[in-house]
Structure 1
């Protein structure tokens, strides 16, 4: 069977979110993260469906009432009660491919909390829980390989962009060599080119350099990436080296990629202990006809929106304030997983 990994700009049925547990890591910031998730839902339902995994019946009733009060049509929103650990749907959600007949298939990879850093058993079972609730219109195929959605980017035409620091990290698949990983990616995603970034990281990032914090395909010819322009910043050497790698990469045609640098926000620090937080404009989300862009109350926010407007001239750009999200070391894209056309049951569309 030959598969094709879909790019994020492929037409979508919906968007998946996972609502925070009241007693989880978000407990002290619950109202703030819920406000961000509400903003994401309200922005998204103008374009497509939203599916939300919620941790318990009480939370489900409260979230349902909230969106009813906002006037969100019931047919736009699906809430499923299932045990959860955290909110990062990008990494525990399913990754969609098309089979050789053009039909979608959900690949359910093993999620271990980014190499065993955090509890993940409930989140690892969430894709199946949504299947049991009748959410999916297509089959699921489970994979033993440890892989998170934020670790990979594709142009949809057989090229994958990723980082050595994540996919080759021994805390993920210690028995797999680089060649083994590439062979598995080729088998599962139909890719025949893997562009490996050896450089690039963000302080405060728990993911071992997920590519969606660093560099993103905007179309098959265009990559947006974060650029650090402050030589005094500790990120400067690694991100400058990453920029040179991106400039050296070539499209299948042999042409260089069109590169769009994203600005560097001022350093964000946790107000409690002062550690640096991973603020990045690369963590944007592409949905149908719109791009949701994380902002941080920073002068660079507008420059980031302008840069991404150049990358997505046919899309509406919607800023989502994410200063609270980075308190738990992720951002906008990390909270979400797109659900391409054909993945949601007809009654959910």
Structure 2
């Protein structure tokens, strides 16, 4: 069937795994014209801690709305251990802060990086996203990506909706990628064709189950299950039959057990614990340990002042031997439905125009 897209000139593409070498992390900062406005006093310190933690391992690119915003952000960062030599600012108006979903996605064509500018429509039109959808182009116009020019795709796709093993296998959820509010012209086969065309996907592993209360992304995979290595998947496990999530997450766990590597063997599965429910105004928030962020030499882990935090830390240390596990209290962040991974987007050094060490 027709996808309504223009095929890229080069078809031999590969979506790198997140644990591959990175050049920088993008973080789009909140302001009083975003949904964060009522909670800026609580979230600014968390964003500052995230930026400072990233800078210990690699550069961080902070997207601010204007020069005055840069001054404000700089004030917050002076109270942290930010490494100024690894701090870069860019300017762009924004609706919100979820860089994982409005940031460019990098693929490699041999050794050459290509930046893909997918359409971001506010998770199927749930929220305004016109400004966020233009951030990648704004960064490119300021030289953030050097000579790497973002390619528009015509496909609605968010970075949080896909997981890559770096070798041609993508993991995703049917609830999100087959949503009628994203690419209604495409059926499952059409989506797979598009993922193969743009991202070089040779296999797409679909999860039919899995959804967290408080998540309005239609079940982004990065809240549920994550590749930690080509043969390893960490996933959210619910073992409490009284929890409303139990049927869905038990079904998802069975699906994960049935998945097979290209070699034919099962994946090594690492269950992540389930923190005690966190509520705000009677609404349960999407507290998940699966929304961790992989860095050069480290993993940032969202924690919730819960006894399960230590278990999650130990299990991620098992999944990422040799990487430091850095805990970030994300209770203020999940009030808006996401966490560490949702707020950030990584880029390889070859796709950037900023100095590298």
Query: Take 1:289 and 1:170, find their aligned partners in 2: how far apart are those partners?
Result: 39
What is the TM-score of this pair, normalised by structure 2? 0.95
Counterpart position of 2:120: 111
Gaps of 5+ in 1: none
1:171-230 C-alpha deviation (Å, 9 max, x unpaired): 110010100000000011111110000000001101000000000000000000000010
Gaps of 5+ in 2: 1-9
Counterpart position of 1:342: 350
Residue 80 of structure 1, CA deviation: 1.4
Counterpart pick for 1:209 among 190, 214, 219: 219
Counterpart position of 2:13: 3
8 A Cα contact 1:216 1:224, kept in partner: yes
Q: Secondary structure of the equivalent of 1:323?
A: coil
For the aligned residues, what is the CA RMSD?
A: 1.2
Counterpart position of 2:327: 319
1:225-252 C-alpha deviation (Å, 9 max, x unpaired): 0000100111000000000000000000
Counterpart position of 1:185: 195
Q: Secondary structure of the equivalent of 2:252?
A: helix
Residue 108 of structure 1, CA deviation: 0.6
Counterpart position of 2:238: 228
1:133 aligns with 2:147: no
- C-alpha distance 8-21 of structure 1, shift in aligned 2 (>3 A): same
Query: Take 1:348 and 1:240, find their aligned partners in 2: how far apart are those partners?
Result: 44
1:97 aligns with 2:107: yes
8 A Cα contact 1:40 1:320, kept in partner: yes
Query: Take 1:296 and 1:9, find their aligned partners in 2: how far apart are those partners?
Result: 24
Query: Take 2:190 and 2:335, find their aligned partners in 1: how far apart are those partners?
Result: 35
Counterpart position of 2:95: 85
1:274 aligns with 2:282: yes
Query: Take 2:127 and 2:49, find their aligned partners in 1: how far apart are those partners?
Result: 27
Counterpart position of 1:174: 184
8 A Cα contact 2:289 2:303, kept in partner: yes
Query: How many corresponding residue pairs?
Result: 346
Q: Secondary structure of the equivalent of 1:5?
A: coil
- C-alpha distance 259-23 of structure 1, shift in aligned 2 (>3 A): same
Query: Take 1:68 and 1:300, find their aligned partners in 2: how far apart are those partners?
Result: 32
What is the TM-score of this pair, normalised by structure 1? 0.97
8 A Cα contact 2:45 2:76, kept in partner: no
- C-alpha distance 10-278 of structure 1, shift in aligned 2 (>3 A): same
8 A Cα contact 1:135 1:348, kept in partner: no
- C-alpha distance 245-165 of structure 1, shift in aligned 2 (>3 A): same
Query: Take 2:295 and 2:274, find their aligned partners in 1: how far apart are those partners?
Result: 24
